[in-house]
Structure 1
């Protein structure tokens, strides 16, 4: 019961009104640690209740500070990678603080700087922000970061992946008077995240719940092989026409592909919307609202929609493009199978994606179910595993010995195969451009 966690009575009232009775495992573990004043590094599945796990104890401490007669200031800063996640956390903050006098605000890219400066002059108690725009306000003097006491880095690994490392370091340095730092994520991240954890957190408590090997126990994970781009489009159209789903999210790796699919599906009278970093803030907000409310049943998106968004009723996720890492795969399919509901995640893979898919399976310690759609069976079904007989093996050994004595001839390679490792990552030829927040 939340009442046993010693939270402020005004917060308990908000929880009761919203039918929150039993804390989730991450909330049960994290809230006492945060209330004790310890820095925290927490890793837990998407949909496990991480937002409430850091909001409730921080709001409790903020209420206690205010009741002690502290002067007004922006004490809580929540840093997030995307505008969509910022908006969602702001809504959660307002919901939990409904029966308090705490005020919250949001500053993100794509909105008026002057209007945001005016908002900051009202001194909100809690500020939710994306890195680039927040740093502009700090440098302009409209956000006094020295007053921040609680710094929360939500999805820090994603912020690093998006190229915000320098902005994050500058913001963290500006918050030099903070008394507690919290870092939450759905994945353990890589070396950069470990380094920033060591540099930023002071004697932290580490919590790891629901490792990726236990990912989405209620979500079936399937792969369908495609022999060409045209074949893949047919597979997608069949799935959207024949699968039984309330809402579906289709993920691509690029904005161009998202727009292309949107145009193709719209031409076939599918009710779809598209979401990616090149859309302005109004378009992005409209896409999420229409999708959440059921105005469109299908949302085509890049990974800007893969992190943190909690949209009710998403029971189908399709990876039209295979994600480039195991962590991104975790976040994408985490949009379905939430709160114990059933979900289905389908990845469409061509022959160049096979090694990447295999590395993600190793990373997750899981094997995906293979599936063939009726009437759309292609000629590619994955690499062939040919087991040689003893005779054939002996023949191969003889040929190998003959080749060993011969002068080696290096054949020109027209294309290098992508290398992948057990961490689920495949390197890119070029560093991707930093997307808009």
Structure 2
């Protein structure tokens, strides 16, 4: 058994552990940069699961992303509509009470769009995209809890997350939401949790990771997957794009009934992942963010020709010193370059923060909090931060190195996410690409052609010309 009170204690313990770790993280002063093996020139690619968890944490409490959602497919017999209040959803009174106590006064965009579909009868399958921090966890948790029949004492709802931390976070939301619903019980299926052999689960909601769920359902048979009526896949892009998780999810999916309601939620979906999801989810309603390329209209894009690393550095300092910017993010391809640049800018008196994959999740959050609070005006990072972080004051993004994929080809998706860190919330932004070779110029032209947006030449030695781009 893992009743709500125990779950709350469990979550509190996890939060204390994180707090203790944070208390031991020293604030990185601009003249005391993290030490690293500067001889290492490895690219800094984060794991999908780590990135997903990081985005959830750093975006907690931030303003909702203003990109509108679009319905790409809907059931013509069940027209999708949106609600402006939680009362309009006709929720159970005690569930509604828990929602309001959590501080939700009105549905967010993803909630008002997805919940009417998820709560309608007959149940609808859904594939939904919404950025971290926009309330998607609360959306699917509220939907799955609303489907529980409290009179039945066996698992009816299964929610899978790719990592222990994400499962705990979802459990925390669910525990708060059912605070006034003692008839609904939760069970955590994560590492460290065990069930006696030969026993059967009596909790209606199981929240956990794929490996543990497989063990409990197929190996120890403590609950029956065929009786699950709601299946939620959180961070679906991570699940589908991670080989081990994908195999486990397929095995679980095969055991579910044909009438089980499927809810797939994620911050991002590329076409490959979407194609796979549509094979798994029958006749889904699809809610996605409008293509972020539309936001590029708010971003002025430039390229600067540089003959060396030093010229790149000179261009960065000239631009940053001339344009009246709020805060800037500079993207590098490797940790080595990021550390070199941070140390050099720091010595020249700039308030610089650095964020690379060698930092723990807690340290990254600490660095980002300082940047978001304006303690440092320049954040130097690698691809660990190409997605998801919205800091309203960021007005300029610099690609110190142009983004390449694992095969050394121009990475258009990462380029889009990088420069999309500016021009947020309808404001104007500036993206600067530093070009130091004919190959780099070709990469820049690839981005220009792919997005259909002109990337203009900028002479970084001409202060008058630099001033104009900030006007």
TMscore range, shorter length: 0.5 to 0.7
Aligned-pair CA distance for 1:68:
5.8
Q: CA deviation at 1:362?
A: 2.8
Provide, for residues 146-197 of structure 1, a one-character-per-residue CA deviation record: whole Å limited to 9, x for no partner. Answer: 778443343717973xxx23333324534654742314344x5243x24422
Indicate which of 125, 131, 136 corresponds to 1:39. Answer: 125
Query: In structure 1, how many angstroms separate the alpha carbons of the residues matched to 2:351 and 2:188?
Result: 31
Residue pairs, 1:409-428, within 5 angstroms: none
Q: Tell me the residue number matched to 1:61.
A: 144
Q: Distance in 2 between matches of 1:293 and 1:9?
A: 34
Structure 1 distance, partners of 2:172, 2:429, is 29
**How many angstroms apart in 2 are the aligned matches of 1:259 and 1:73?**
50
Note closer, same or farther for the CA distance 1:263–1:327 as it changes in structure 2 (3 Å cut).
same
Structure 1 position 302, deviation (Å): 1.8
Stretches of structure 1 lacking an aligned partner (at least 5 in a row): 108-115, 129-133, 378-437
Cα 1:77–1:310 shift into 2, 3 Å? farther
| Cα gap change, 1:364 to 1:179, in 2 (>3 Å) | same
Q: Are 1:258 and 2:365 an aligned pair?
A: no
Tell me what 1:288 maps to.
368
Distance in 2, matches of 1:253 and 1:63, equals 46
Local SS of the residue matching 1:316: strand
**Hey, what's the Cα distance between the residues in 1 that align with 2:138 and 2:448?**
33
Partner of 1:184: 266
Given that 2:154 and 2:204 are in contact with CA atoms closer than 8 Å, whether structure 1 keeps it comes out as: no
Q: Is contact 1:35–1:58 with CA below 8 Å preserved after alignment?
A: no
Which residue of the partner structure matches residue 420 of structure 2?
334
Distance 1:35 1:230, change over 3 A: farther
Greater relative CO, 1 or 2 (CA 8 Å, sep 6+): 2
- Could you tell me how far 1:230 is from its partner in structure 2? 1.9
> Is the CA contact 2:160–2:210 (under 8 Å) kept in the aligned structure 1?
no
Q: 1:72 to 1:155 in 2, by over 3 A?
A: closer
Number of positions where the alignment pairs a residue of Structure 1 with one of Structure 2: 349
TM-score normalized by the length of structure 1: 0.63
Partners of 1:154 and 1:244 in 2: how far apart?
38
> Pick from 346, 355, 361: which aligns with 1:275?
355
CA distance in 2 between partners of 1:335 and 1:296 (Å): 16
Q: Distance in 1 between matches of 2:187 and 2:300?
A: 38
* 1:223 CA displacement: 2.9
| Partners of 1:365 and 1:158 in 2: CA distance | 32
Aligned counterparts of 1:366 and 1:358: Cα–Cα separation in 2: 10
Distance 1:306 1:138, change over 3 A: farther
Query: Take 1:278 and 1:310, find their aligned partners in 2: how far apart are those partners?
Result: 22
> Is 1:359 aligned to 2:421, yes or no?
no
- Residue in 2 that maps onto 1:385: none
RMSD: 4.5
Which of 234, 246, 251 is the aligned partner of 1:168?
246
Q: Distance in 2 between matches of 1:269 and 1:295?
A: 14
Change in 2 beyond 3 A, CA 1:285/1:12: closer
SS of aligned partner of 2:116: helix
Q: 1:274 to 1:68 in 2, by over 3 A?
A: farther
Distance 1:145 1:338 in 2: 46
Aligned equivalent of 2:79 = none
Cα distance in 2 for partners of 1:332, 1:181 equals 29
Cα deviation, residue 265, structure 1? 2.3
Q: Distance in 1 between matches of 2:161 and 2:129?
A: 17
Change (3 A) 1:61 1:42: closer
| Conserved? CA contact 1:11–1:96, under 8 Å | no
Is it true that 1:317 corresponds to 2:400 in the alignment? no
Partner of 1:30: 114
Kept in 2, the 8 Å contact 1:94–1:104? The answer is no
